[in-house]
Amino acid sequence: MSNLGKTFLGLALIGAIVALVYGWLLIGNYNTSKTNLVQMTEAKTAADAEAKKQKAAAEAAAQAEQDTQSKLTTATGQVTDLTSQLTAAKSKLDDATNAAALAKTAADKAQSDLDALNKVLNGQSPADLIAARDKAANDAKAAQDEQKILQDQLQASLAQVDQLKKDINASHLGTEPGVSGKVTFVNRTWNFVVLDVGLSNGVVPNGELIVYRGNNFLGKVKVTSVDTNSAVADIMPDTKGDIQKGDSVLN
């Protein structure tokens, strides 16, 4: 082989070696690039996942902050309400304390008044005083009623003076037959009765009338004064029955 051929063969061999080395380098670079690409893809995927996670965390944090702010607002309102209620409760407590103090003062005064009253009563109970007052009032009313009756009797007697002068004759002092009436009042103290019959019914002074109840004879009464429609009569000593209001009289 000539030197030229050897040269070309050497150049070809060198070129093949260079191509082989270059190819190997290219393959190595390709594998490295591919590995880097995979790693970059994985890194991007991881970064995207992390970014998504961070975004979700940020959104959750924002929602949590919003919820917290809402709860804080609600809690602030509740605190305000509770503060108002506490103020109202304190005011009521102050009012109750003042009322209790006033009640104690009133109770102390009432006890003092009661002690003073007991000292004045000197052992008597209020019921005893009330009973005594009622009895005195009843006695006074009875006395007033009796006084009125006596005054009426006096007026009736004065009114009949002229008539009695005309009827002084004994023949006119007897009560005419057929008189019938009722007892309207009985005075045990002075032993007299008031009747619902008078001059218009034939009753005259000193006339005697029989008193009875049903079929029972009670006794007799003697007329002491008389007016047109009523008369006053003394209960006669021999009367045995208990004459009461509503009993009948006749002659």
Spell out the alpha helix ranges (H) of the chain.
3-121, 126-159, 161-166
pLDDT string in tens for the chain (251-residue length): 677 777 777 777 787 787 777 777 777 676 777 787 778 888 888 878 888 888 888 788 788 788 878 887 886 787 677 677 867 767 776 776 777 677 677 767 868 777 776 676 666 677 777 887 888 888 888 888 888 887 787 677 556 545 544 443 333 445 567 899 999 999 999 999 999 999 999 999 999 999 999 889 999 999 999 999 999 999 999 888 899 999 999 98
The whole-model pTM stands at 0.34
**Domains with residue ranges and CATH for the chain:** 141-250 (2.40.10.170)
Instruction: Compute the CA torsion angle 163, 159, 177, 219 (nearest 10 deg).
Output: -130
Q: Which is it for the CA torsion 183, 184, 188, 191, positive or negative? A: negative
CA distance 247 to 186: 10
Specify the amino acid at residue 230.
S
CA distance 134 to 127: 10
CA distance 15 to 3: 18
Q: Give the Cβ contact number of residue 11 at 10 Å.
A: 10
Specify the amino acid at residue 202.
G
203 DSSP 8-state letter: -
Which run of H or of E encompasses 180?
strand 180-187
φ, ψ of residue 125 in degrees (nearest 5): -90, 155
Instruction: Please enumerate in sequence order all residues whose Cβ is within 8 A of that of 220, keeping only pairs 6 or more positions apart, or say none.
Output: 208, 209, 210, 211, 236, 238, 239
**What is the pLDDT at residue 106?**
74
